[in-house]
Structure 1
Amino acid sequence: MKYVDDFRNSDLARQIARRIHAAVEPERRYRLMEFCGGHTHAIARYGLTALLPPCVELIHGPGCPVCVLPVGRIDSAIELALEHRVTLCTYGDTLRVPASRQMSLYKARAEGADVRVVYSSADTLTLARDRPDRQVVFFGIGFETTTPATAVALLAAQAQQLENFTVFSNHVLTPAAMQHLLADDDANLDGFIGPSHVSTIIGIAPYRVIARDYRKPVVITGFEPLDVLQAVLMLVTQINEDRADAENQFTRAVTEQGNLKAQALVAQTFELRNDFEWRGLGLVPDSALAIRAPFAQWDAEKRFNLSTQPVADVKACQCGHILRGHGKPTDCKVFGTACTPAAPLGACMVSSEGACAAHYQYARFNDAAAAGCVHL
């Protein structure tokens, strides 16, 4: 734990916070979006907003892969499990995400659907080999971090000619979502705390395009408290200097080019969709991945003729509003009352990376400190 503890040192955190306080121009606002749900949880867990000056505002973004899945895609997964009677393998976060007609994968399982929680696509492959009498579908979700593992599963299924295995692909892309947010006329962002795990795969180059085209700085950042605070200081410095670069704070894991082998695996098995619906963001061009034609035999959307329909979120839920960076969990009237982790109305309260779940678990206890005077 010593290596991790080095990045949680409270004295160093206060030193960086003092440097941020000294660097900001008080009459200026610094609106910084932490794109990744892991950063949202780190900020809430360690009460980092209480260390920042009032002119620095951290904005939640659409960096939770479960949260950005629209209701219609969850409905399609439920259709696979209930109507096509497949064995649906999924990560645990998706089980309780509300779908249409007050359904969820958890409720579908209670009604007799064979829905199983797995830790990787490899678990699904093993199940398909062990149960040749069953159609087994992997519910593939996530950003660039999890896509290579799904690509490996597709290649293995092809090599083994595994006829009872398919993938329901819902993999989405980070840079496209960033660009979509910045193209919004209502966007009021000054910079991005860039995702770390995603960046280990794609490297820094894609963010350089965003920094250049939209004049917004991006700092790729680790998940520990000192990582986030240092990233804030780096962003404040860039904004003060009227610079817009893509910088790498997370040098211990992220390189310029990223993981070239993983990128090659994804390019071999997946191609861009023309557009894809994101919860809160609507249709986003070139923002998701479909399975390439040579692997169509292992594409669940084709094998089971799935046709996802757009479905509106529950009116009371403000998850989409939060994912666009237009609000905070406490802006939602049902936060912590009708909507809790035990009885969620929206995906942001369900997922372990959701902003509402983070705020409910940690930040609501830190609000008083953040609103008061912090002694550095």
Structure 2
Amino acid sequence: MDFISKTDPFLENPIEIQKKLIENISKNPKPARIMHICGTHERTIAKFGIRSLLPPEIEVLSGPGCPVCVTPDNDIDTAIVLAKKGLTLITFGDMLRVPGTEESLFDARAEGADVRMVYSIDDAIKIAADHPDKKIVFLAIGFETTIPTTAAAVLRGLPENFYIFTSLKLTPPAIDLLIQDINVDAFIAPGHVAVITGTAPFSNFEKLGYPVVVAGFESYDILLAVALLQKQLKAGDAKIENAYPRAVKPEGNKIALKMMNDVFDVADSEWRGLGIIPNSGFVLKEKYADHNAAIQFFDLYKDELKRLEEVRQKKKKNCICATILTGKATPANCPIFGKKCTPTTPIGPCMVSDEGMCHSWYKYCRD
């Protein structure tokens, strides 16, 4: 058992390590429901068939770990309204394909709206600098992994014609809420989030009696996390273990955390499938109000946003993405998965993003 805690997959033969880990996990396994909260973890699990390597007593659930997937319809609709009202709406590629209540940002662009895709906020800022006559709105999504890049851009200074529409999420509050409503025994924490936050934000799970392992993103990282969680569960332990020390420090990235705190205030935020979660998102501080799209534009189009809200309340979809995000279902339970809903014709966001569970299962887990 000692080799598990000491293992650094990059220092040894990863194939041999995986074999040892699978043997260890499969020896008198303790029945457990383990939830990860990371779209990249799900992609690795699906791609390498990790669930099929584990004994049937161990179930691995997928939680709300995809930032595209948890962005609510309301934010998608708002972005579309801004674009169709003459503003230039800029965001990451996956967001363009997520269906809103009536259409997607791709659809709006096809109708003539100025919607653009970028790889970073810096690309969007350059567009604003090159086009001072346009009002540029950047739809900022993401977890703690990408939030520091937005904070850094704000601290460097923004063009006068540049506005930020924040749909930024904080991971731990969502899991705090999930714990109240799902049957889970342990958690795999996302390594890239912990790179920024450190391990402290997951301490509440430890206090509540849940073993937690921070994991990297290779197949052996996932197996190592499962093995460490099995070890904790068998011993009756509940603590945070860092199985990704090559990237994660207990204190996180202090510079990134300071930038985030300097630019954003913590606020309630809506998550797809989970509703409004207290203190689970970021909004720009008041001193950046001149660049806050919510303050500058939302009231101008409140009638259209209200209409879309009413349509959304009446509209029903067969998509069960919201249920999948909470670990209560898998794509296999969805009646339209792989049929009406595919990566080229997505009905819900879980099929759009590379980090969405439906997308990963469509790509790797179909017969």
Question: Offset at 1:180?
Answer: 0.8
Aligned to 1:286: 279
**CA pair 218-4 structure 1, distance change in 2 beyond 3 A:** closer
Q: Of residues 187, 198, 207 in structure 2, which corresponds to 1:203? A: 198
Aligned to 1:126: 126
Question: Offset at 1:315?
Answer: 2.4
Q: Secondary structure at the match of 2:319?
A: coil
**CA pair 5-209 structure 1, distance change in 2 beyond 3 A:** closer
What TM-score, normalized to structure 2?
A: 0.92
Question: Offset at 1:88?
Answer: 1.2
Q: Of residues 76, 79, 82 in structure 2, which corresponds to 1:77? A: 79
Question: Offset at 1:209?
Answer: 2.2
Separation in structure 1 between the aligned mates of residue 105 and residue 134 of structure 2, nearest angstrom: 19
Question: Offset at 1:263?
Answer: 0.5
Question: Offset at 1:314?
Answer: 4.4
Aligned to 1:374: none
Q: Of residues 163, 166, 176 in structure 2, which corresponds to 1:179? A: 176
Deviation per residue, 1:213-233 (Å, 9 max, x gap): x21111100000000000000
Greater mean alpha carbon deviation, residues 303-312 or residues 316-325: 303-312
Q: Secondary structure at the match of 1:170?
A: strand
Aligned to 1:12: 17
Question: Is the 2:9–2:220 Cα contact (8 Å) retained in structure 1?
Answer: no
Q: Secondary structure at the match of 1:76?
A: helix
Separation in structure 1 between the aligned mates of residue 121 and residue 61 of structure 2, nearest angstrom: 32
Q: Secondary structure at the match of 2:59?
A: strand
Percent of aligned pairs with the same amino acid: 43
Question: Is the 1:98–1:346 Cα contact (8 Å) retained in structure 2?
Answer: yes
Q: Secondary structure at the match of 1:330?
A: helix
Aligned to 1:237: 231
Question: Offset at 1:333?
Answer: 0.6
Q: Secondary structure at the match of 2:280?
A: coil
Please tell me whether residue 300 in structure 1 is matched to residue 301 in structure 2. no
Aligned to 1:137: 137
Q: Of residues 249, 268, 271 in structure 1, which corresponds to 2:265? A: 271
**1:41-80 mapped onto 2 (5 Å cutoff):** 41-80=43-82
Question: Is the 1:14–1:51 Cα contact (8 Å) retained in structure 2?
Answer: no
**CA pair 138-4 structure 1, distance change in 2 beyond 3 A:** farther
Q: Secondary structure at the match of 1:341?
A: coil
Separation in structure 2 between the aligned mates of residue 364 and residue 36 of structure 1, nearest angstrom: 21
Question: Is the 1:157–1:165 Cα contact (8 Å) retained in structure 2?
Answer: no
Question: Offset at 1:156?
Answer: 2.4
Question: Offset at 1:131?
Answer: 0.8
Query: In structure 2, what residue type is equivalent to 1:176?
Result: P
**CA pair 220-5 structure 1, distance change in 2 beyond 3 A:** closer
Aligned to 1:167: 164
Question: Offset at 1:210?
Answer: 2.1
Gaps of 5+ in 2: 1-7
Q: Secondary structure at the match of 1:208?
A: helix
Separation in structure 2 between the aligned mates of residue 127 and residue 11 of structure 1, nearest angstrom: 49
Q: Secondary structure at the match of 2:187?
A: strand
Aligned to 2:4: none
Question: Offset at 1:157?
Answer: 2.8
Separation in structure 1 between the aligned mates of residue 9 and residue 229 of structure 2, nearest angstrom: 23
Question: Is the 1:8–1:226 Cα contact (8 Å) retained in structure 2?
Answer: no
Question: Is the 1:7–1:225 Cα contact (8 Å) retained in structure 2?
Answer: no
Gaps of 5+ in 1: 366-376
Separation in structure 2 between the aligned mates of residue 8 and residue 143 of structure 1, nearest angstrom: 32
Aligned to 1:218: 212
Question: Is the 2:128–2:135 Cα contact (8 Å) retained in structure 1?
Answer: yes
Aligned to 1:87: 88
